[in-house]
Amino acid sequence: MSVSVNVSGGISLDNSKHLRVALVGKPNCGKTALFNALTGSRQKVANYSGVTVEKKHGYFKTPENTLVTLVDLPGTYSLRSRSPDEKVTRDVVLNQFKEEKPVDLIMAVVDATNLSGSLRLVLELKQTGIPLIIALNMIDLAKLRGFEYDIEKLSSLLNCPVIPTSAVKKSGISNLVAEVDRHDQLETTSNRWQEPDRDMVREYHKEVHSIIRSIETRKGMPSLWSARLDKLFLHPVLGLFILLTILFCMFQAVFSWATIPQGWMQDTFDSLQAHVAALNPNSFLVSLVANGIIAGVGSVIVFLPQILTISLFIILLEDTGYMARAAFLMDKLMGGVGLHGRAFIPLLSSFACAIPGIMATRTIENRKDRLVTILIAPLMTCSARLPVYTLLISAFIPVKTVWGFANLQGLVMFALFAAGIIFGLIMAFIFKTFFFKGDRQPLMLELPSYKAPNLYNVLLELIKPAKSFLRRAGTIILSVMIIIWFLSSFPLPPEHATAPAIDYSIAGIVGKFLEPLFRPIGFNWQIVVALIPGMAAREVAVSVLATIFALSGTNDDVIREGLTVILQHAWTLPTALSLITWYVFAPQCISTLAVAKRETNSWKWPTIMFIYQMMLAYLMSLAVFNLARYFIH
């Protein structure tokens, strides 16, 4: 613990009191903004042992030099648990986590614009006997809408301090921090909490309303803007049209704007690789660094702009409150194949990369719904498939105008995207019907008022996926790249070898060994070899093919142009179509499987994912290869 504190905030533990504070509140109460306002960048994200729920800790110091560990708990309506997220909140608050230290103080976040929704949770928290401080958050917004409260009376009714705050405007934060210093004046009692049954929920509601009646000195108006915007955004036809427009912009951003910085990064890595390689062409260490580490890790890091772009869109949609509307609009459409409305966003993210997509499934409460979403996420066409698609399409699909307006190459690209979506939905239906039997979970979605996003929060939230992506690139992907470099370089070719070195390597031997298995779908051993390193990152297959066809030259474009021509001679059209089809379905990505393992906390699901994708890829390639041969000959 002390190390992480030092690393993340530069705060020393010496001579200071240490306090653990749990931050609890219902969803959409501004809890994350408050967490960010209190701790700034001194945050640490990890997983609770045994569960796949994120553990978010932040640190701050009070005026009296107490070091506070603030535990940000998942938003919940009640202390009783329904989703894995909510279970964590309950277990931390009730001190049922063996590995976690007990909480000294609870900071409850109450939405001042909607007291009735928040206060029932506060009453439940009171039952735990742990000292409680209330942050009456979004007080500025509540005032703006005309709400007025007798805060002193609220404090005396609840028998705990109530501090009005506005996390976004950063007002009241210092009062809140100062109140933490006075925590020892609050009494600790024994835990009287028990899971409320329906009658108790009703009792709590009655109590909440009698409290509100006595402290609400002026009733405010609901957000008029939200009501107006909802008329537009939730309109059955117009709303869907707006959603599609937002999605279009998102794709546009990912596939065209983000590719500009991506190009710069690629150039930097290429020249770095060339410089390092030129140091000593015969040294293995140099080869490892240049071809293994720089080329390999670089080929993954170049996707950072795309990950940041898609994360930015998702954070903005989340922060503004639009995300719940998207789930509303998509619920019935997704429900047709048994998916939950909330599965829409993770699947959408998967078009950039399945990894953030799978991570985004955490918002799906039900385990079965979440697993189905994770399983089909890799079928959405991710950006790493594009280099492969581009190469094969430009080599084998003629530039031709069909139906008077459409470009055939573009049409094929579109068909590949559509195939991923259609088969993703079909697989979801199959999983739901045969493996995850059971009725649908109800949808209960709060549609929060729209809010303008806060720049500070957006930036803090944007750093998180970037950090975790880079950390992964530096650990898992780095080690995989070293292994693959090793497999494709050893054993060394004999003295006067005529074929490229990779022929004699373990990868080459494995490729030739596996070739008979892939012959029915039209793959030769060179393709099989390319598929192996392509497991680390799909687009690596392109450069491996270039290496295998023993091309000289360092410029990427020369290689690609040359490769296009060479491929046209080396492969038949059925083989090329078969390979394209393979890439639509095959589990060509170790990182995705690793993330699926981490998120489901078991090897079972990534194994199932691997097997079904493999079978689907093989069967589809087999069909495409034979159909193409039948029609061409």
Partner 1 sequence: MTNKLISLAKLKVGMSGVIEKIDEALLPHNIELEAGELERRLLEIGIIEGVHVKVLHFGLIKKDPIALQLNNGEITVAIRRNEAEIILVNQSIRK
CB of 127 to partner 1, least distance (A): 16
Please give, one letter per residue, the 3-state secondary structure of 49-86.
Answer: CCCCCEEEEEEEECCCCEEEEEEECCCCCCCCCCCHHH
Closer to partner 1 by CB, 235 or 467: give it.
235
In whole angstroms, the minimum distance from the beta carbon of 27 to partner 1 comes to 10
For the bound state, the minimum distance from the C-beta of residue 444 to partner 1, rounded and expressed in Å, comes to 5
With CB under 8 A as the contact rule, the residue among 20, 170, 205, 629 that binds partner 1 is 205
Residue 143 in contact with partner 1, rule: CB under 8 A: no
- Sequence-ordered list of residues with C-beta below 8 angstroms from that of 448, at least 6 positions apart, any chain: 27, 28, 321, 324
Helix, strand, or coil (residue 590): helix
The window from 91-99, 322-330, 423-431, 536-544 that contacts partner 1 (CB under 8 A) reads 322-330
**Distance of closest approach, residue 363 Cβ to partner 1, in angstroms:** 15
For partner 1, the binding residue among 51, 94, 201, 229 (CB under 8 A) is 201
Among 14, 99, 187, 439, contact with partner 1 (rule: CB under 8 A)? 439
434 touches partner 1 (CB under 8 A):
no
Candidate residues 23, 317, 324, 428; the one interacting with partner 1 per rule CB under 8 A? 324
Find the helix or strand (DSSP H, E) in which 407 lies: strand 406-407
CB of 13 or CB of 443, closer to partner 1: 443
- Report 463-522 residues binding partner 1 (CB under 8 A): none
| Phi, psi for residue 72 in degrees, rounded to 5 | -85, 110
Residues 6+ apart with CB under 8 A from 430: none
**E strand or H helix that includes residue 25:** strand 17-25
Closest-CA residue to 188 (of 77, 65, 102, 121): 102
Rounded-to-10 torsion of CA 512, 513, 517, 518: -20
CA-to-CA separations, 221 to 113, 225, 226, in angstroms, rounded: 9, 11, 11
Least distance between partner 1 and beta carbon 447 (Å): 4
Tell me how many residues contact partner 1 (CB under 8 A): 44
Give the list of residues 6+ apart from residue 370 with CB closer than 8 angstroms, or none.
361, 362, 364
Contact pattern for partner 1 over residues 210 through 249, marking x by CB under 8 A: -----------xxx--xx--xx--xxxx--x---------
Tell me the residue type at 269: F
For residue 258, the cross-strand partners are none
Place of tokens 């909330």: 342
Q: Which is nearer to partner 1, 372 or 391 (CB)?
A: 372
The residue ranges of DSSP E strands in 78-234, in sequence order, are 105-111, 132-137, 148-149, 162-164, 216-218
Segment contacting partner 1 by CB under 8 A, of 199-207, 304-312, 356-364, 425-433: 199-207
Q: Give the C-alpha separation, 315 to 311, whole Å.
A: 6
Binding positions for partner 1, 159-198, rule CB under 8 A: 197-198
| Residue 335 vs 562, nearer CB to partner 1 | 335
In angstroms, what is the minimal distance from the CB of 481 to partner 1?
43
C-alpha–C-alpha distance, residues 410 and 399, integer Å: 9
Within 25-64, the residues that bind partner 1 by CB under 8 A are none
CB 528 → partner 1: shortest distance, Å? Answer: 44
Nearer to partner 1, 240 or 476 (CB): 240
Q: Which of 78, 155, 287, 564 binds partner 1 (CB under 8 A)?
A: 78
Name residues contacting partner 1, limited to 349-388 (CB under 8 A): 366
Strands of 91-151, DSSP E: 105-111, 132-137, 148-149
The pair of structure tokens assigned to 562 is: 């040359």
CA distance 257 to 259: 5
The secondary structure element, H or E, covering residue 630 is: helix 604-632
Task: Please report, as residue ranges, which positions from 108 to 137 form the binding site for partner 1 (by CB under 8 A).
Answer: 114, 116-117, 120
- As measured in angstroms, the least distance from the Cβ of 132 to partner 1 is 20
Of the residues 50, 438, 491, 520, which one makes contact with partner 1 according to CB under 8 A? 438
In the complex, what is the shortest distance from the CB of residue 284 to partner 1, in angstroms, rounded to a whole number?
57
For residue 84, state whether it binds partner 1 (rule: CB under 8 A): no
Least gap, CB of 110 to partner 1 (angstroms): 14
Residues near partner 1 (CB under 8 A): 77-78, 82, 114, 116-117, 120, 197-198, 201-202, 205, 221-223, 226-227, 230-231, 234-237, 240, 324, 328-329, 331-333, 341, 366, 438-449
